[in-house]
Structure 1
Amino acid sequence: MSRIDPAGKNEPPASDRLENASCVSSIDAEKKKWMEDNRAAFAAYDALVDRLGVFGEEYRAFE
Structure 2
Amino acid sequence: MGYTVPKNITKKFQVNSLRLFVQGDNLVTIGSAARRGTDPEQSISGTTANRFPVTKSVSFGLQLNL
User: Is TM-score (shorter-chain normalized) higher than 0.5?
Assistant: no
- Greater Rg over alpha carbons, structure: 1
Higher helix share: 1
TM (norm. structure 1) is 0.22
* Higher RCO (Cα < 8 Å, 6 or more apart): 2
